[in-house]
Amino acid sequence: MKKRQLGTSDLHVSEISLGCMSLGTDPHKARTIIDQAIDEGVNYLDTADLYDFGENEKIVGEALKGRRQDIILGTKAGNRFTPGQEGWTWDPSKTHIKQAVKDSLKRLGTDYIDLYQLHGGTIDDPIDETIEAFEELKQDGLIREYGISSIRPNVIREYVKRSNIVSVMMQYNALDRRPEEEVLQLLQENNISVLARGPLAKGMLTKQGHEKAKKKAGEGFLSYSFDEVATITNKWSDMGSEKQTPTALALQYVLHHPAVASAVFGASSIEQLENNMTYRDAEAMTDETYEDIRKLTKPITYDKHR
């Protein structure tokens, strides 16, 4: 599996990586998926303290016993919650973040986190205080690097100006091309990498995309009507070849932009994992195919958080 540098850091992540939110709460099943992903070349695992209110971190931590040195581990903070209770509140304060990292380290069973991310953020946050918290955690050796997980252009711009983030996690796929319009170039110019989540658009950019669209986009998707999504997903399932599955094509599309370090996919089964791993052996995407995808879909822009 090829790797790409995360920003200007010493972290080099696999071009496709495993988002752990969809693993579920069965530790054995989760470990099976994680073990196979690592064996097939995935070296970045992404979780968050909020996923299943801490349980996901525990499951990931258990699965990594004996393999921690093999992977780059990312998690997130900023949502205050009480384990075992529903609901959470947003809290990007230094006090909360510095406590949250201790809790995450304990659940993950490790003494450091490779990439610690702010799990959201608004323009009204105490941004300098939040940055200070991450910088202090880095100085203390509890985290190696930090980033944010956000699709808010106004927040992203502030962190680009005021912090030393190495990454921004955001939704990006061939149906959601919003990052292309104003974010990707900004991040590339500032040597900040993108971790692209949702690269398969809820499964709509796979061989079964048309059926997924009926379930996931019955009322449309972003600025697309359902009819537009249906047309795209029908054509998408016929694209590619034996050596380039529709799934591989979707992953290749987001990785085509030099700002993107990794496409972060979710998997709740070995079958889903193996479908994503077809990327590894796929033939290269041609410029012609890339342009065909851009003609099939459409550029859209963020309509909030200006």
Cα 69 to Cα 73, 98, 110: the distances in Å are 10, 24, 10
Beta-bridge mates of residue 5? 12
Closest residue by Cα to residue 77 from 106, 103, 51, 100: 100
Give the CA distances from residue 132 to residues 59, 128, 162, 247, in Å, rounded to whole numbers and listed in that order: 30, 6, 10, 40
- The one catalytic residue in 44, 51, 116, 172 is 51
Q: Provide the strand spans (E) within the chain.
A: 3-5, 12-14, 16-19, 44-46, 72-77, 79-80, 89-90, 113-119, 143-149, 167-171, 193-197, 260-266
Asked if 250 and 205 count as a contact pair (C-beta separation under 8 A), the reply is yes
Strand partners, 265: 18
Whether 51 sits among the annotated catalytic residues: the reply is: yes
Mind telling me the catalytic residues?
A: 51
